[in-house]
Chain A
Amino acid sequence: MNRHHNVKRYPGLGLLSIAFFAYLYAPLLIVVLYSFNANRITSVWTEFSFKWYGSALNNSALMAALKTSLIVAGIATVVATTIALLAALAIIRGKGVRFRKLSETVVNLPLLLPEIVLAVATLILFSLIGLQNGLLKLVIAHSAFCTPFAFLPIRARLQGMSLDLEEAGMDLYATRWTVFRRVTLPLIFPGLFSGAMLAFLISMDDFITSNLLSSGGTTTLPVYIFSLIRAGTSPELNAIATMLIVGSILLATIALSVAAHGQNNND
Chain B
Amino acid sequence: MTDIASHHRPLLPRAHRRGIKLPYLGLLPAWLIMGFALILPIFIVGAVSVATRGAYGGFDWGFDLTGYRQIVFNEGWTGEMEFTAQYLIIIFRTILLAAITTILCLILAVPVAYWIASQPGHRKSILVFLVTLPFWMSMILRVYAWMIILGKGGPLPRFLGLFGAPEEMTLMYNDGATLAAMVYTYIPLMVLPVFASIEKLDGTLIEAARDLYGNRWVTLRRVILPLTAPGIASGAILVFVPALGAVLEPILMGGGKQMMMGSLIQLQFGGGRNWPFGAAIAVTLLTVVMLVLIAIAIRSARREIKP
Interface, chain A (partner B; CB < 8 A) = 3-4, 7-10, 13-14, 16-17, 20-21, 23-25, 27-28, 30-31, 34, 41-44, 79, 82-84, 86-87, 89-91, 93-97, 103, 106-107, 109-110, 112-118, 120-125, 127-128, 140-141, 143-144, 147, 170-171, 173, 176, 198, 201, 204-205, 207-208, 211-212, 222, 225-226, 229, 233, 237-238, 241, 244-245, 248-249, 251-253, 255-257, 260
Partner of B111, one of A17, A44, A112: A17
Q: What is the CA–CA distance of A225 and B137 in the complex, to the nearest angstrom?
A: 14
Stretch at the interface among B66-74, B79-87, B225-233, B242-250: B242-250
Q: Which residues of A lie under 8 Å from residue B62 when comparing CB positions?
A: none
Contact A113/B286 with A16-B115, A95-B19, A147-B33 known, Cβ cut-off 8 Å: yes
Partner of A117, one of B15, B139, B245: B245
Q: What is the CA–CA distance of A252 and B207 in the complex, to the nearest angstrom?
A: 39
Q: What are 20 A-B pairs at a CB distance below 8 A?
A: A8-B203, A10-B114, A24-B130, A28-B141, A79-B33, A94-B27, A110-B38, A113-B241, A114-B242, A114-B289, A116-B265, A118-B38, A143-B33, A176-B18, A205-B139, A207-B140, A229-B147, A241-B141, A252-B132, A253-B129
B140 and A229 within 8 A (CB)? yes
A34 and B148 within 8 A (CB)? yes
Q: What is the CA–CA distance of A87 and B30 in the complex, to the nearest angstrom?
A: 6
B275 interface hit (Cβ, 8 Å):
yes
Q: What is the CA–CA distance of A10 and B127 in the complex, to the nearest angstrom?
A: 19
B137 and A144 within 8 A (CB)? no
Q: Which residues of A lie under 8 Å from residue B155 when comparing CB positions?
A: 30
B184 and A17 within 8 A (CB)? no
Which of chain A's residues has its CB closest to B282's CB? A117
Q: Which residues of A lie under 8 Å from residue B114 when comparing CB positions?
A: 10, 13
Q: Which residues of B lie under 8 Å from residue A204 when comparing CB positions?
A: 138
Shortest distance in angstroms between A234's beta carbon and chain B's nearest beta carbon?
Answer: 11
B206 interface hit (Cβ, 8 Å):
yes
Which of chain A's residues has its CB closest to B243's CB? A114
The 6 closest A-B pairs by CB, nearest first: A114-B245, A94-B23, A43-B153, A90-B26, A121-B41, A27-B145
Q: Which residues of A lie under 8 Å from residue B26 when comparing CB positions?
A: 86-87, 89-90, 94
A3 and B136 within 8 A (CB)? no
Kindly list 6 other residue pairs between chains A and B, CB separation below 8 angstroms, not including A4-B207, A114-B241, A207-B140. Answer: A83-B30, A86-B28, A94-B19, A95-B16, A225-B140, A245-B138
A116 and B247 within 8 A (CB)? yes
Partner of B140, one of A176, A222, A255: A222
Contact A117/B286 with A125-B37, A229-B252 known, Cβ cut-off 8 Å: yes
Which of chain A's residues has its CB closest to B4's CB? A173
Shortest distance in angstroms between B178's beta carbon and chain A's nearest beta carbon?
Answer: 15
B31 interface hit (Cβ, 8 Å):
yes
Which of chain B's residues has its CB closest to A121's CB? B41
B262 and A10 within 8 A (CB)? no
B151 and A233 within 8 A (CB)? yes
